[in-house]
A and B are shown apart, each in its own frame.
Chain A
Amino acid sequence: MKPPSFVYHAPATVAEAVEALAAAGADGKVLAGGQSLIPLMNMRLAAPGQLVDINHVAGLGEITAEAGGVRVGALARHAEVEASETAFAAQPLVRRALRLVAHPAVRNRGTTVGSIVHADPAAEMPAVLALLGGSVRARGPEGERDIPAAEFFTGPMESSLRTGELAVSAFFPSTAGGTAIVEVARRHGDYAMAGVAALVGPDHARVACLSVGAVPVVVDVTEAQGDWARAARLVQERIEPEADIHATADYRRHLTGVLAERALKEAADA
């Protein structure tokens, strides 16, 4: 199907973009890579009255090493972040997770920040941001603020970004210890039926689970003290998966346990 019509804005600066978004109010949507938004529009599941295209805004595509991590600009394409040695050096999990995001042709256009803002609980990058305790930097009419991942994801496809705010970058912290991400999808490149990102540090361990809740589900499993089978059971008790055409709730719970154990082992050995 064809997307519904909309009023198109092509701002050249962040200030102009924020102004256009604020003027559009609840009717406005940001267009970055469009790899989530345009399918929704083509299928008429979304019909924003106004699109603010940030593809012509200068300075949003940067990937920058900062103290304690890496900052990824709103226009950095998945493929660019995946290839970035700066990002890899600061947080290798970012590259590993991006290789699970859709297919190369989608990663060439889609943006990492866009994926986070889309806030699909089945997507990898929101889970990675949540696992690492990263943040999203938002610019709005009242200025700039950093939103911690724990406060950013508020529901399926819902974030705490306010109307008129533009996510200008995301920050992925570096971490002490190993990380891993594993998932099971019906077809390679599809959204996963279940997936787990894990972080095992010298004195802590936690996981973030995909597709088993309204938001990425972060579970601290430090108390398992390296017994990853026990950690997997802790994770299974915490999640509340739902059934859909791809998997039953029980199967998702089973998969998440298996994947949690696998991811934690891999992270511990990394």
Chain B
Amino acid sequence: MHDVTLVVNGVPRHARVPARRLLSDFLRHDIGLTGTHVGCEHGVCGACTVLLDGRPVRACLTFAVSVAGHEVTTVEGLADGDRLSPVQRAFAECHGLQCGFCTPGFLTTVTAFLRENPAPADDEVVEAVAGNLCRCTGYQNIVKSVHRAAELMAEEGP
């Protein structure tokens, strides 16, 4: 067993876990943050995407012990208190989700993407979300949501 401390959404969180504990399970089972969803558990679906030191990674393809000490942002860390982030509001406004299972992965992926590319073209948006599967929306409203989030962020400033 290993003592693992991660800074999750700005707060140091500790658990004693076996080396084989996936980051996705560390977040969900050990510290109770069930916002991160687990779909395929082999890196295909993107539902478990979290930000590791600000960059999107597959939580199901990362051992918690291997990233001890690093910063993780989950979907729970995107809102500012009760106020949803621009990306979250845009997804709600543009119907960028239906069942919501894939949504945490999209929100984290898009949050990091818009930080690097605040005014993306259509094909860049499609490329950015290509690693996240959604079986409900047909993606059109997700692409709209990303553009809308970019607008909101531009209006509201950093």
Which residues of A are in contact with B by a Cβ distance under 8 Å? Answer: 1-8, 10, 31, 34-35, 38-39, 41-43, 51, 53, 55, 79, 102-106, 108-109, 188-189
Interface residue tally on B, bucketed by range: 20 to 34
Asked if A102 contacts B19 (CB within 8 A), the reply is no
Asked if B131 contacts A104 (CB within 8 A), the reply is yes
Residue in A closest to B41 when the chains form the complex, CB atoms: A42
Beyond A34-B61, A35-B43, A39-B42, whether A55 also contacts B66 by CB under 8 A is: yes
Asked if A105 contacts B58 (CB within 8 A), the reply is yes
Q: Given known contacts A5-B19, A42-B41, what 16 new A-B pairs fall within 8 Å (CB)?
A: A2-B20, A2-B22, A34-B61, A34-B66, A38-B43, A39-B61, A42-B60, A103-B130, A104-B56, A104-B113, A104-B128, A105-B46, A105-B56, A105-B57, A108-B52, A109-B52
Beyond A6-B19, A39-B43, A105-B46, whether A31 also contacts B52 by CB under 8 A is: no
Which residues of B are in contact with A by a Cβ distance under 8 Å? Answer: 2, 18-20, 22, 25, 41-43, 46, 49, 52, 55-58, 60-63, 65-67, 109, 113, 127-128, 130-131
Asked if A2 contacts B55 (CB within 8 A), the reply is no
Minimal beta-carbon separation of B115 from chain A (angstroms): 13
Asked if A6 contacts B20 (CB within 8 A), the reply is yes
B57 contact set on A, CB distance < 8 A? 105, 108-109
B41 contact set on A, CB distance < 8 A? 1-2, 42
Residue in A closest to B60 when the chains form the complex, CB atoms: A42
Bound CA span A42–B39, Å: 13
Minimal beta-carbon separation of B134 from chain A (angstroms): 13
Bound CA span A5–B20, Å: 6
Asked if B55 contacts A108 (CB within 8 A), the reply is yes
Cβ 8 A contact of B22, one of A3, A79, A108: A3
Bound CA span A270–B100, Å: 45
Asked if B62 contacts A105 (CB within 8 A), the reply is no
Asked if B42 contacts A105 (CB within 8 A), the reply is no
Chain B residues touching A, majority SS? mixed
B49 contact set on A, CB distance < 8 A? 105
A8 contact set on B, CB distance < 8 A? 2, 19, 63, 65
Beyond A8-B65, A105-B49, whether A2 also contacts B25 by CB under 8 A is: yes
B127 contact set on A, CB distance < 8 A? 188
Bound CA span A211–B49, Å: 28
Bound CA span A10–B67, Å: 11
Counting chain A CB atoms within 10 Å of each CB, the highest count among B18, B22, B61 belongs to: B61
Counting chain A CB atoms within 10 Å of each CB, the highest count among B43, B46, B130 belongs to: B43
Bound CA span A2–B22, Å: 8
A109 contact set on B, CB distance < 8 A? 52, 57-58, 61-62
Bound CA span A42–B20, Å: 10
Beyond A3-B20, A5-B19, whether A108 also contacts B63 by CB under 8 A is: no
Minimal beta-carbon separation of A122 from chain B (angstroms): 15
Beyond A5-B20, A108-B55, A109-B52, whether A103 also contacts B61 by CB under 8 A is: no
Q: Can you list 12 contacts pairing A with B, beta carbon distance less than 8 Å?
A: A2-B22, A3-B22, A7-B19, A38-B22, A39-B61, A55-B66, A103-B46, A104-B109, A105-B58, A106-B58, A108-B55, A188-B130
A103 contact set on B, CB distance < 8 A? 46, 130-131
